[in-house]
A and B are shown apart, each in its own frame.
Chain A
Amino acid sequence: MAERALPRELIARLIRSLKRRGVDYADVRYERLLHESLVAEQGRVSSISVTESAGIGIRVLSRGSWGFASTPHLTPRHLARAGAQAIELATASSLLNRQPRPLTPVEPVKARYASRVAVDPFDVPLSKKLDYLLWANATLLGPDAVKRATAHMDFYKRRKLFCSTEGAQIEQVVIESGAGLEVVAQRGDEVHLRSFPNSHHGALAQAGFEYVKQLDLVGGAQTAKEEVLQLLRAKPPRAGETTIVLDPTQVVMQLHESCGHPTELDRALGQELSYAGGSFLTPEHLGQLRYGSPRVTIVADATIPHGVGSFGFDDEGVPAQRVELVRRGLFVGYLSSRESAARIRLPASGGAMRAESWSVPPLVRMTNVNLEPGEATLEELCRDIPRGYLLSTNKSWSIDDKRLNFQFTTELGWEITDGRLGAIVKNPLYTGITPAFWGRCTGVGRAEDWRLWGVSNCAKGEPMQLMHVGHGSSYARFDGVTVAPAR
């Protein structure tokens, strides 16, 4: 689909009109998203789709209350109506809201940001993408036990124009590419799934088609097929307390659920209570609570190259930042917005306001929440473990409404006996309490094994918004963890 011109003049006129109506603050965000999705199943292409979505979201702060309205119709009449709706909402809410709603300051800039890509995926011929997809998919097929083989690719191009009554004018173009495989095998009542290179829809990065080529889907397909067949005759893990090593694919989910969500400041302030819940990391714990062992340093880094949580500016015009959330085990920072930062008297927003699309307001979201690397190799992490498990690739996830009690299963694990990796185990489950678990982190892998992943389905808010967020990690080791077979 061809590019549409940015509606600069329409937006400029709308900003002038909102100023004239006396709002305390307003921002207008145009977005156009192009998403191409390719799926192959059982050796044939099963779905090719292209989705285009464009529209404008208007956020107004008036008399201490927010109002948000959106429209896909880019005409002066529709924009004026949406602007009036946003003001009407803010005015209505101000009847109830008694407290002022200060925002931390931000310098309004005129700026541009664009993803650095070698090959724009939308310039690659469809036939070339399909050839590669079908090749990877065919590699998964073979034995009768394989009941489903799926390969998929996804490409996104998001163009944004953000303008505010403070004078900001920011244009951003973000391109993302991703791909993955899934194979399901069954024998009798045993059914197992193996994904490559990760579950949760594979791998995704802020990159061009070159990223998909680097994933080596064909080589990964062969490994995934071999492992899923091994799972059919594998034993489950022994139940009990033991040492586990998580590979980077599973640390992704551990970071996401037990660090990313509880450090969202809006959540910690109670603004998600009716839906996703609260957080055990309430503001009185900031700088006080021991979150993990001294080996644990976790950052929210929106500046890291190729992260799907990276950008030039967030959706309220705050520059991308690297914010420490946990420093050597101590809880020291939040993911925050201009409003939530002001609420707890932080000097500035952490730049984490992000919206799924033009049709919804931004919320405090994860950017790239990463576990900083240590120095150990996988061999060194396993070396002094008499009996334990190496666990890989998230299969199920669940955590309580304060983000304390979590339980995960992974697609597979390997026994560790006297420091050496052994047989594959099926249906491994581990569970714990967030600060106690991270407090028993006794090793973090080296930078050479550190890898950044993209997650495309982080859900939050009402209406629910699905956000692309990043997580980077190496291997990590945890002692005294409750492990059981999922049955």
Chain B
Amino acid sequence: MVGERTLLSTLTALVKRARADAVSVCVHAKTRRVFRFAYEAIHQDLVQEDITVTAKLIRQRRVGVASADSLEPAHLRRTLQAAAAIAAHSPQQKELAALPQRTRIRASGDYVRSTTRLSAAACVASLQRLFQLCKGAGAKLAGSLVTGEDELAVVNSAGVSCYAASTVSGAKLVTMYRNLSGYASGVHRDVTRLDLDGLLKESLRRSLHRQEAVSPPLGNYEVILEPEAVGELVSWLGYTAFGAKSVEERTSCLAGRMGEALFAPEITIYDDGMEAASLRMPFDFEGTPKRRTVLIDRGRATGIVYDTTYGARFGRPSSGHGMPPDEVEGPLPMHLGMAPGRTSLEAMIRSCRRGLLIPRFHYVNGLLNPREALMTGLTREGTFLIERGKLSAPVATLRFTQSLLSAFRRVLGVSTQRRLIADPSQELGCAVMPALHLVAFKFTGRSESSS
């Protein structure tokens, strides 16, 4: 861990030294400890330490951006010199948003020491126990166990000086029994609250089934999507629809439809970087505080997210969704949430006469026709056929091709309980999602055995 004092004093000194009209420096330092395992062996274990320093320098309305991976003074000076050299060669920009001003930023207090102190030996001991439990059940185990910490700091010449530290831990478990597989995952900032035994039980419950997987006919099915499956679909909406750039380019399904009822009234989607249930991030990569933004309010399109550049173009303040200065995708939501409903997953299953229970999707792609939020993807481990309110048989892999504009219009229920969804080995960001019960979801293909 670099620490707040070192980071902010280093960046402040750098910003003060810069000969520029404006300068902003952003640092993301991260550590990840990852164990990956399959079939009673750990095949990959690593400690990854990374630091990314990105400087944006403005001189006479010319912008230069340079990045490096060191806080060494000589390297920081070189980075700033590189940004200045780029700015000198850049054309003048007519529309140039001002850097964010100093504002009060709430500390999230999400740094949990027990996560960073977990030793390699303790991780392996936990995995040993899981392997034994799994063996006892006659199943095989694969997966990953991750712990890590992040530090984010932004300092600019307009007075922004902010820092946040957080930890993350997570596990993915795939259990295999005969030809069936089960899956469960969990994420928590405190590794001691990561319920590995509970996750294993959940995964085993889905894989220890007497019946072989069935291949139901293709077509429309009533579906119950568990939080991870909902998260995958909504995250694609976040990428293709909720950012100001996609709206400006008219590729977003929200472009020109603001205020319209696009989804059922049961659906409210927002982005909130400070939601207690999420992996919080109090400010964005420009140093703007994260502002809760309601994107879909009871089915109606109500908002999109901005950074300073797109905020200026749309005549709006930044909502705190700026990405690192060298990113070109524009502002994006990183903490999507769907508001809870009033039912439970169990009640959804009981109320379903014939349908599918889907814990997660595989390889979703939302670029087929983003204007219609048309997506495709596949089911994976743990998908079950529901008949007369009960899980009747595991289901072999199915492909869906479905517009969310039509699927999210007919909602039978949203669960009260929600889950934190994140991939802890990756970058910052997460989603908080309920389970969703939909009237119809279109399945267009299935996987067949090669032999």
Contact = CB atoms under 8 A, between A and B. Distances in A.
B450 A434 contact: yes
A48 B48 contact: no
B253 to A, nearest CB: 10
Interface residues of A, number: 89
B285 to A, nearest CB: 13
Given A273-B38, A401-B397, A52 B69 contact: yes
B194 interface: no
A85 B174 CA distance: 28
A271 interface: yes
B10 interface: no
Interface string A162-185: 000000000000000000000010
A409 B272 CA distance: 33
Interface centre among A73, A93, A398 (most CB of B within 10 A): A398
B44 A66 contact: yes
Contacts of B50: 72, 359
B34 to A, nearest CB: 6
A184 B249 contact: yes
A93 B131 CA distance: 13
A398 B121 contact: no
A211 B28 CA distance: 34
Interface stretch (A10-18, A96-104, A242-250, A320-328): A96-104
B68 A53 contact: yes
Interface stretch (B138-146, B292-300, B347-355, B387-395): B138-146
Nearest to A266: B43
A121 to B, nearest CB: 15
Contact of A71 (B44, B49, B397): B49
B120 interface: yes
Given A1-B78, A431-B399, A274 B65 contact: no
B67 A52 contact: yes
Given A47-B328, A48-B64, A398-B365, A274 B124 contact: no
Interface in A261-316: 266, 269-271, 273-275, 277, 280, 285, 289
Interface stretch (B86-94, B156-164, B205-213, B414-422): B86-94
A126 B47 CA distance: 37
Contacts of A361: 44, 46
Contacts of B377: 398
Contacts of B127: 96
B305 interface: no
A463 B45 CA distance: 11
Contacts of A86: 47
Contacts of A147: 248-250
A68 B44 contact: yes
Nearest to B50: A359
Contact of A48 (B86, B119, B144): B86
A54 B67 CA distance: 11
A429 B397 CA distance: 20
A464 interface: yes
Contacts of B37: 96
A431 B54 CA distance: 42
Interface string B367-391: 1111110101110100000000000
Contacts of A93: 35, 42, 45, 120, 124
Nearest to B122: A92
B51 interface: yes
A398 B376 contact: yes
Interface stretch (B221-229, B314-322, B441-449): B441-449
Contact of B425 (A152, A189, A193, A463): A463
A47 B86 CA distance: 10
B371 A191 contact: yes
Interface centre among B127, B250, B371, B403 (most CB of A within 10 A): B250
B425 A396 contact: no
A400 B41 contact: no
A137 B296 CA distance: 35
B405 to A, nearest CB: 11
A359 B35 CA distance: 15
A487 B369 contact: yes
A67 interface: yes
Nearest to A290: B450
A39 interface: yes
Contact of B426 (A1, A49, A130, A463): A463
Contacts of A97: 41-42
A409 B67 contact: no
B450 A44 contact: no
A407 B41 contact: no
B376 A407 contact: yes
A70 interface: yes
A273 B380 CA distance: 11
B195 interface: no
A429 to B, nearest CB: 7
Contacts of A457: none
A266 B37 CA distance: 12
Contacts of B380: 277, 400-401
A452 interface: no
Nearest to A407: B376
B123 interface: yes
Nearest to A51: B67
Contacts of B173: 274
Interface centre among B47, B64, B250 (most CB of A within 10 A): B47
Contacts of A462: 34, 36, 144, 146, 423, 425
Given A96-B42, A360-B46, A487-B372, A52 B68 contact: yes
Interface in A21-48: 37, 39, 44-48
B334 interface: no
Contacts of B86: 48-50, 126
B70 interface: yes
B82 interface: yes
A55 B364 contact: no
A68 B48 CA distance: 8
A273 B142 contact: yes
A405 B448 contact: yes
B120 A88 contact: yes
B41 A96 contact: yes
Given A1-B78, A52-B67, A275-B172, A405 B447 contact: yes
A113 interface: no
Contact of A400 (B45, B64, B172, B447): B447
Given A49-B325, A96-B131, A274-B172, A70 B67 contact: no
B38 A270 contact: yes
A214 interface: no
14 contacts: A1-B78, A48-B65, A51-B67, A52-B79, A72-B70, A85-B47, A91-B120, A96-B40, A96-B42, A191-B371, A273-B142, A274-B173, A396-B376, A462-B146
Closest 5 CB pairs of A and B: A92-B120, A273-B142, A49-B326, A49-B65, A68-B46
